[in-house]
Amino acid sequence: MLAYKVNNRLSIGGGPNIQVYDADFATMVDSSGGARPNPATDLESRIKAINTAIGFNVGLEYQITPATRFGASYRSAIVHKFDGDVTLKGNPAVLAAVVTGLGMTGPDGRASFKINTPSIATFGLAHQATQELELYGSAMLVGWSRFRSTRVKYSNGFPTTTVDNNWNNSWYVAAGLGYQVTREVKVRTGIVYDWTPTPDNVRNPRAPNANRVYAGLGFTYQSDPSWKFDLSYAHCFFQDAPIALEGGNNLPRGTLNGNIKIDANILMAQFTFNLDKFKSPF
């Protein structure tokens, strides 16, 4: 990262993102070519591949007033192109018939596919309401619309497999506050609403997304300028969401109906040590 202070109010920064994506991608595929699909004759396609790709991020912080500051950042989407090893597994008799019938070189081979990670635009505002009380607000736009259908192409003669994604861009908004209880202790709390990027017609058990609410609580302990300790906890309340898949490339044999009921707990801890402010006791 490289940052530059333009003046007493404005600072800008940016840098590259080097992302290593280690993929272990498995999906069930129809061995009948759609003619007479049957779960008993499905094959498992498992691909292992790794790819390194580069993106970038830029940001700024602006001091609007002595008590209020604004920040914004943008992280680019990153395109990963995978070329890895694939293995087809299933009933031995079915597998042998598929290999022979399609004139495949064998159940193993190479496979290629592409996955786009989303862009992220973030906006934040902090206001020092009193000497003890600070207010926060932020919003994030995640470019999940780049996460389109995943098409897997095989080198061994097996037909191309398509997994429908077709997600939408989504917003994340948050509000919170921090309160300096004592000179050493600061507490924080906040709430977040996060819209799911997954439309009802493509939601599946592989990625059971739903609209969600986060509620969090945290505290900071700092008795010396050279170090501080942060601890926080958040609970994620997911809304109940349906699975209603009606055929398509990812489900050629019919429909899949169900409901998603999930929640999550998040615990975070951080220790920060500042060499510039450290004073040796010796």
Q: pTM of the entire structure? A: 0.78
Q: Map residue 99 onto helix, strand or coil.
A: helix
**CATH 2.40.160.60, applies to 2-277:** yes
- Would you state the pLDDT for residue 281? 62
Which residue(s) pair with 22 in the sheet? 50
- Would you state the pLDDT for residue 129? 96
Residue range 186-209: mean pLDDT, rounded: 87
Model confidence at 247, pLDDT cuts 50, 70, 90, reads: low
How far apart are the C-alpha atoms of 246 and 258, rounded to whole Å?
A: 12
**pLDDT (tens digit, 9 = 90+) per residue, 228-244?**
999 999 999 988 888 87
Residue range 259-273: mean pLDDT, rounded: 90
Model confidence at 124, pLDDT cuts 50, 70, 90, reads: very high
Here the tokens at position 48 are: 């292992």
The answer to whether the CB of 203 falls within 8 A of the CB of 226 is no
Burial of 112 (0-12, 13-18, 19+ CB in 10 A): middle
